């Protein structure tokens, strides 16, 4: 899995280092960014395969902009939630994450969630490509053939 680059957006340095340690022990390459705003600025320097992001950060209202950008680029994402803070997930709104996971993270749960999100993203991409090819075929068909079998 070393070929998978994860962008971790977490403003708490201790939590970020703990999660980074877990992810590196699972053989992921990890970059830590401390704010949503910084993530927007540095995103194309890192070009991650996957994003793990704190749901809401103090004083940071750029999360929707970042989430919108991530969605357009079709990158899987999991949001980190502090335990028992459901109110934070209500602020996510239209971000459409793959999944939420509580922080602190259980390493096995985190690994499964990441692998599932990446797999789901790959399947959705393949489905969209297949749908596009089928749509193109149907839209470009010039003749329609109909075969009737008359049984008398």
Q: What is the pLDDT of residues 23-49, one digit of tens each?
A: 999 999 999 998 888 888 888 888 899
Task: Using the predicted structure, report yes or no on whether residue 61 has a pLDDT greater than 70.
Answer: no
Evaluate if residue 77 carries a pLDDT over 90. Answer: no
Cβ–Cβ under 8 Å, residues 21 and 4 = no
Helix (H, G, I), strand (E, B) or coil at 51: strand
pLDDT score of 95 more than 50: no
**Domain boundary assignment for the chain:** 5-140
- Summary mean pLDDT of the chain: 80
Between 4 and 101, the more confident residue is: 4
Q: How far apart are the first and last CA of the chain?
A: 64
**Cα–Cα distance, 67 to 47 (Å, whole number):** 15
Which among 128, 117, 126, 136 is positioned nearest to 53, based on CA atoms? Answer: 117
Stated pTM of the model: 0.72
Of 60 and 152, the structure prediction assigns the larger pLDDT to 152
**What's the pLDDT at 150?**
79
- What local confidence, expressed as pLDDT, does residue 24 receive? 93
Whether 23 contacts 9, CB under 8 Å: no
Please state the rounded mean pLDDT for residues 47-66.
Answer: 74
So what's the pLDDT on residue 60? Answer: 53
Task: Count other Cβ atoms within 10 Å, centred on residue 70.
Answer: 22
How far apart are the C-alpha atoms of 66 and 123, rounded to whole Å?
23
Q: In the CATH hierarchy, which top-level class contains the domain 5-140? A: alpha beta
pLDDT recorded at residue 141: 75
Per-residue pLDDT tens over the stretch 100-150: 787 777 889 889 989 998 899 899 889 999 998 888 877 877 766 677 777
For residues 71 and 125, which has the higher predicted lDDT (pLDDT)? 125
Is it true that the peptide bond before 36 is cis, omega within 30 degrees of 0?
Answer: no
Distance CA 73, CA 75 (A): 6
Phi/psi at 144 (5° precision): -120, 130
Q: In this structure, what DSSP letter does residue 84 have?
A: T
Cis ω on the peptide bond leading into residue 121 (within 30° of 0)?
no
pLDDT value, residue 82: 67
């Amino acid at each position: 899995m070393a070929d998978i680059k994860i962008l971790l957006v977490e403003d708490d340095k201790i939590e970020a280092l703990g999660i980074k340690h877990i992810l590196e022990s699972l053989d992921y390459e990890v970059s830590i960014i401390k704010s949503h705003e910084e993530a927007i600025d540095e995103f194309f320097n890192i070009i991650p395969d996957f994003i793990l992001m704190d749901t809401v950060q103090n004083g940071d209202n750029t999360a929707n902009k970042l989430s919108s950008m991530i969605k357009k680029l079709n990158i899987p994402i999991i949001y980190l939630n502090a335990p028992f803070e459901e109110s934070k997930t209500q602020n996510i709104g239209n971000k459409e994450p793959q999944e939420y996971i509580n922080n602190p993270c259980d390493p096995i749960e985190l690994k499964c969630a990441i692998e599932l999100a990446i797999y789901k993203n790959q399947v959705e991409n393949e489905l969209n490509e297949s749908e596009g090819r089928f749509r193109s075929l149907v839209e470009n068909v010039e003749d329609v053939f109909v075969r009737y079998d008359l049984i008398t």
